[in-house]
Structure 1
């Protein structure tokens, strides 16, 4: 590692859920205070700030709560990939010499309902969601239905992915949904958009997360367990005629941008998927996790059926996925979601995850995101 590279020295998380009377900025303040304490630095030491949010148009205004130190604060938004983007921009500010210590912050406070109720995201009129025509749920249902047909995936595999998320959430004291459910219970719940049932979808909610980064050669001044940023990539789609918001259905001529982001990240980090010890994959719905296992190179299309039946993605499996419960157990405040992934990976790589700790001293963590309008991001961390 070059001495000019970047390390994570602290993380903070305001648990995701519902917090009436508490603003997104206030949740962000709590996450930052926790991250600063974890890093062992004062707010005045932060030299660059990148904050991401969907609902808050100027999230960099969090400096009004934390302290007006003159720190340059910049707002970031790339849909569900926002957390990875804010982290990458904070890291780039260090690599460019603009800062020795920087912070990435994500925060959001979404109302109840599917994201198609948000004209700022979908561009659709309000009546669309009010009539029950939820764009996001329709799209994800159609996408996994096509994938199941093409590659022999059965509904029990979707249910197993969701049941794993809720088991992991039950072991995570900061998760929103902490009630375990069996695969059978999930299968028997009502369909929202075939083949996805009620408990196969995540929900918009509220929360915040923060990550403090430093020059790698300075990291040991602040922590005895720095986590190094090995790769950070982001790609947008190259084609897409089937949908409005997310990567297109699998096409031979234009794979999902996840494929390009993943391949570039492995090249940057100098590793392959076989080297990853713990992964966080975007699981807006249970089907997305299934598809993303293949798109990120962890298996071939169709192999997920056997992998999940064998427990390969469980905490005790060969590739633990979404060890904190992922989006299904935590919900998705869009601006904060990607940094929640980083918080969990850092917790795992430091060996501090308690009942959900991956055994064997994991060394490499992998985080994947995708969101509107077909933007995919991958981050690779290591000890």
Structure 2
């Protein structure tokens, strides 16, 4: 079905001429240097998300990696490179976690990119496979946030905005107020996002929050940052996820139905000549435009999307950023059920960050794992019928001296 907003000029490549090219983007298919230009996900594994007081981050990572290996029968000795995404797990986290399964001696890279750390790990492995550094690579994401003192962003002491209360919920509350003022978006429409994602989560045993809520319950919940209530915000979670990524030759040997990563794009915020940092929407729009271009697809082709939705308003704004609807139409889109499983594009059928949880470093890798299962028809009760194209969208930073953070968009095809 053709989506509203397909002709929105924000997704016109010509409009992007005002920005310099994104240096972190991978080259489009069709390279002539003899290096593998197609990469595939061949296995995925994940822990449940939620409070796990008796399990440390290294053990969570081990469980996710072992789940991916066991589901595929791939020998760990075949892995030629690994990358671990995390935000607050300390130095050499990947080495310590992978030592538990005897995976040593190979290049192990640790990346931190705020909430986009896991997605950055995926892109790092994709680029390594494309460059011929390995035939098989492991992307791992993990986070332990429910330890004492966890669940916050440790920002530098001289940050004025955070000292004045501009923390994440407050920042998104301002985004919500702006969207309400500009487009007439209602609190009920925002609450509809939480209702949808909580309903999806009931079908996914890995989810942190396993309780349905109504629009009224969302609106009546304790206020966090007006107009966002407790149920408008994602929970603080522990968890880990892992995916195995391979070249085309290795993928055909290892997997009967590999899922191709048709586009892997990473960018960061830009400063204009006036010193203004572009916002989350601009990062998402630029990353999505490039990903669609690389994959040779458009927003109307996407069947399932795992979206960065830590707050209800974030999901609505990103409907518009990713081209699923025109600016100002997101409220109507959720109201009409067009992002439900079976709708125009199923958004966050896993439950999303709002219900599945958001263990920062794990999130981006878990999104890829979810799309892998969806495109292979293995998502169980929350399977999107006939899904052939999936999009994963992750944003890191965007507040308190993280304004120029990161946005990653991956497009997967069956």
TM over 0.5: yes
Q: Deviations over 1:10-43 (max 9, x none)?
A: 0000111111121111000000001112232111
Q: Deviations over 1:139-168 (max 9, x none)?
A: 111111111211121111101001001000
1:364 aligned to 389, 404, 412, which one? 389
1:34 aligned to 67, 72, 82, which one? 67
2:335 aligned partner: 309
In the alignment, is residue 5 of structure 1 matched against residue 38 of structure 2? Answer: yes
Q: Secondary structure, in 3 states, of the residue corresponding to 1:327?
A: helix
1:189 aligned partner: 221
Q: Deviations over 1:191-217 (max 9, x none)?
A: 111111110000221100000011112
Structure 1 residues 78-93: aligned runs within 5 Å: 78-93=113-128
8 Å Cα contact 2:51-2:146 kept in structure 1: no
Q: Secondary structure, in 3 states, of the residue corresponding to 2:343?
A: coil
1:252 aligned partner: none
Q: Secondary structure, in 3 states, of the residue corresponding to 2:48?
A: strand
Structure 1 residues 58-207: aligned runs within 5 Å: 58-61=92-95, 62-111=97-146, 117-119=152-154, 122-124=155-157, 133=165, 135-207=167-239
With the length of structure 1 as denominator, give the TM-score of the two structures. Answer: 0.91
1:382 aligned partner: 413
8 Å Cα contact 2:77-2:103 kept in structure 1: no
Mapped to 2, the partners of 1:332 and 1:94 lie a distance apart of: 28
Q: Secondary structure, in 3 states, of the residue corresponding to 1:16?
A: coil
**Residue 125 of structure 1, CA deviation:** 7.8
8 Å Cα contact 2:239-2:362 kept in structure 1: yes
In the alignment, is residue 286 of structure 1 matched against residue 312 of structure 2? Answer: yes
**Residue 169 of structure 1, CA deviation:** 0.5
Q: Secondary structure, in 3 states, of the residue corresponding to 1:66?
A: coil
Aligned in 2, Cα 1:237/1:113: closer, same or farther, shift over 3 Å? Answer: farther
Query: How well do the aligned residues superpose, as a CA RMSD in angstroms?
Result: 2.5
Q: Could you list the runs of 5+ residues in structure 1 that have no partner in the other structure?
A: 250-254
**Residue 116 of structure 1, CA deviation:** 8.0
With the length of structure 2 as denominator, give the TM-score of the two structures. Answer: 0.85
1:266 aligned to 292, 297, 308, which one? 292
8 Å Cα contact 1:114-1:134 kept in structure 2: no
Q: Could you list the runs of 5+ residues in structure 2 that have no partner in the other structure?
A: 1-28, 31-35
**Residue 331 of structure 1, CA deviation:** 1.6
1:332 aligned partner: 358
1:322 aligned partner: 348
Q: Secondary structure, in 3 states, of the residue corresponding to 1:118?
A: coil
2:241 aligned to 209, 228, 237, which one? 209
Mapped to 1, the partners of 2:221 and 2:210 lie a distance apart of: 18
